[in-house]
């Protein structure tokens, strides 16, 4: 890696101020990677702007000097989309953390890219409203990163993805120009919606600096059910039964191995005595007493059909939170094994056949590996996690998992699914993009990137190679 020129460092410090350009080893490691641990971070420097104008000045400098720029938010990504491993300049957006211009009529609020998800959720609650996009990393993920990866999470079945809550967007292009997209409008059919192109682009088109986010009414008296089910087919039957009777705000699943790891490492209690191969977690509102009566009738029906072997329903907010931890603590728990993750999806109606094929391939290919399943099965998204044995070298582990991933992605392709349901493509999955996108689609993506970023400096090498 070629060290960054001292003149450039001085110019950057002149833009953002003393102490805001970092080159020490600890900072380069901290800001140069995300939750993936496959690539060694090697950024040239880290710069922390505090305004949109500073971001523009930095990008203009980078374009003149042909410096690659990696936008960095909470660095909670799982596809190496925010990893800087080739001497790039990391543009960390932590200081763009303002929340302002709350509009109670439009139910919108303007947020800097560095606003943490939980910070926005808390602000909404203080206004008597609700920001529904939620996931395990809400305490550290940032709005700019959520937008750049179109983050999903645990409420998608009811509330959709991040893109459904972005009313307006400000983005700095690869030439340093500022685009103010949609401006909070509900209806706007005046040409192409460039906002939607930027959402999910993983920083390859520009730097998200600010967003106008929509808020919603708060949910009423949420209840949580955890059900023990014998097999995948039963999970889908339970989903169909409950969706036919009540409106769900979440429908998650996890395997017995996932549960046992969480119980062992997080000090939680098993939800009920019966051990089953899989578990479903359902969340629903209780606006009146009849809601719980309906849920219990559906539970009894599922037991009669043999789809559910046991279950528990929350009796308090504290118990609901404890039941949620059984699902939400999985990623943190298994991180110590440096899992190889596949974040795949298909149509909800195809999930049983899809998972049956995937399970056969995975179990035949990894007989000696531990496989942890969990995910947002209510929207067709499942997470396949292969745990690295402690005595296996990372290179060998990645090689073996990469071979089987090709077979898994062939199944994804046959079922018309996606190789990345919500984690993005980044570096980890770009070699597999063709399983979900046609050659023509990928070429159009390249042309779009060229229009936004003619110098090719914005997060190069992510999603596809230029």
178-217 residue pLDDT tens:
999 999 999 999 999 999 999 999 999 999 999 999 999 9
CA distance 261 to 406: 27
pLDDT at 1 over 60: no
> Are 222-331 and 338-423 in the same CATH fold?
yes
User: Which letter, b or e, does each residue of 257-289 get, where b requires 16 or more Cβ atoms within 10 Å of its Cβ?
Assistant: bbbebbbeeeebeebeeeebbbbbbbbbbbeee
Of 369, 363, 373, 365, the C-alpha closest to 388 is 369
Cβ neighbors of 191 (< 8 A, separation 6 or more) are: none
| pLDDT tens string 94-109 | 999 999 999 999 999 9
- Map out the domains of the chain as residue ranges: 99-214, 222-331, 338-423
- In this prediction, residue 444 has a pLDDT band, given cuts at 50, 70 and 90, of very high
CA distance 437 to 110: 33
Q: Which residue has the higher pLDDT, 362 or 282?
A: 282
What is 338-423's CATH number, 3.30.70.2740, 3.40.50.2300, 3.20.20.60, 3.30.9.10? 3.30.70.2740
Fold topology of 99-214: 3.30.465
Strand partners, 384: 342, 373
CA distance 371 to 257: 8
Cβ neighbors of 312 (< 8 A, separation 6 or more) are: 225, 226, 271, 272, 323
Lateral strand order in the sheet of 206-214: 99-103, 108-112, 206-214, 166-173, 178-181
DSSP three-state, residue 458: strand
Of 259, 260, 243, the C-alpha closest to 251 is 243
Q: What's the pLDDT score for residue 408?
A: 93
CA distance 114 to 137: 14
DSSP three-state, residue 200: coil
Predicted structure pTM score = 0.93
Provide the token pair at 417: 């699914």
Across 81-101, average pLDDT: 97
Q: Which helix (H) or strand (E) holds 112?
A: strand 108-112
Rg for the chain, CA atoms, rounded: 23
Of 214, 221, 227, the C-alpha closest to 377 is 227
Q: What's the pLDDT score for residue 2?
A: 60
Domain 222-331 classification at class level? alpha beta
| pLDDT tens string 350-375 | 988 898 898 899 889 888 899 999 99
């Amino acid at each position: 890696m070629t060290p960054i020129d001292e003149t450039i460092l001085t110019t950057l410090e002149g833009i953002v101020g003393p102490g805001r350009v970092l080159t020490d080893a600890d900072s380069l490691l901290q800001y140069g990677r995300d939750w993936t641990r496959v690539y060694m971070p090697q950024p040239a420097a880290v710069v922390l702007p505090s305004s949109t104008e500073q971001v523009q000045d930095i990008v203009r400098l980078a374009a003149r000097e042909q410096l690659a720029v990696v936008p960095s938010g909470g660095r909670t990504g799982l596809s190496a989309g925010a990893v800087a491993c080739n001497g790039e300049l990391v543009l960390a957006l932590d200081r763009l953390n303002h929340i302002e211009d709350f509009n109670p009529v439009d139910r919108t609020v303007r947020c800097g890219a560095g606003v943490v998800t939980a910070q926005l959720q808390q602000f909404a609650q203080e206004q008597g409203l609700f920001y529904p996009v939620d996931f395990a990393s809400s305490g550290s993920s940032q709005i700019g990163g959520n937008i750049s990866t179109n983050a999903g999470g645990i409420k998608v079945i009811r509330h959709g993805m991040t893109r459904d809550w972005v009313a307006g967007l400000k983005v700095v292009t690869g030439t340093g120009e500022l685009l103010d997209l949609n401006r909070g409008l509900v209806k706007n059919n005046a040409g192409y919606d460039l906002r939607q192109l930027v959402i999910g682009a993983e920083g390859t088109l520009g730097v998200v600096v600010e967003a106008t986010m929509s808020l919603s009414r708060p949910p009423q008296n949420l209840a949580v059910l955890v059900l023990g089910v014998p097999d995948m087919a039963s999970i889908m039957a339970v989903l169909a039964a409950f969706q036919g009777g009540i409106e769900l705000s979440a429908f998650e699943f996890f395997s017995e191995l996932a549960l046992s790891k969480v119980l062992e490492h997080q000090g939680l209690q098993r939800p009920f005595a019966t051990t089953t191969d899989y578990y479903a977690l359902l969340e629903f509102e209780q606006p009146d007493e009849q809601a719980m009566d309906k849920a219990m009738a559906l539970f009894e029906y599922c037991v009669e059909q043999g789809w559910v072997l046991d279950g528990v329903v929350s009796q308090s907010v504290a118990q609901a939170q404890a039941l949620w931890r059984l699902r939400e603590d999985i990623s943190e728990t298994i991180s110590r094994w440096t899992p190889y993750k596949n974040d795949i999806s298909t149509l909800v109606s195809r999930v049983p056949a899809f998972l049956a094929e995937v399970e056969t391939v995975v179990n035949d290919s990894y007989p000696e590996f531990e496989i942890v399943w969990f995910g947002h099965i209510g929207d067709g998204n499942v997470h396949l996690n292969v745990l690295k044995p402690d005595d296996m070298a990372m290179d060998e582990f990645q090689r073996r998992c990469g071979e089987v991933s090709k077979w898994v992605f062939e199944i994804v392709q046959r079922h018309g699914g996606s190789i990345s349901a919500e984690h993005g493509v980044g570096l980890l999955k770009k070699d597999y993009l063709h399983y979900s996108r046609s050659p023509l689609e990928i070429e159009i993506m390249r042309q779009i990137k060229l229009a936004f970023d003619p110098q090719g400096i914005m997060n190069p090498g992510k999603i596809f190679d230029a």
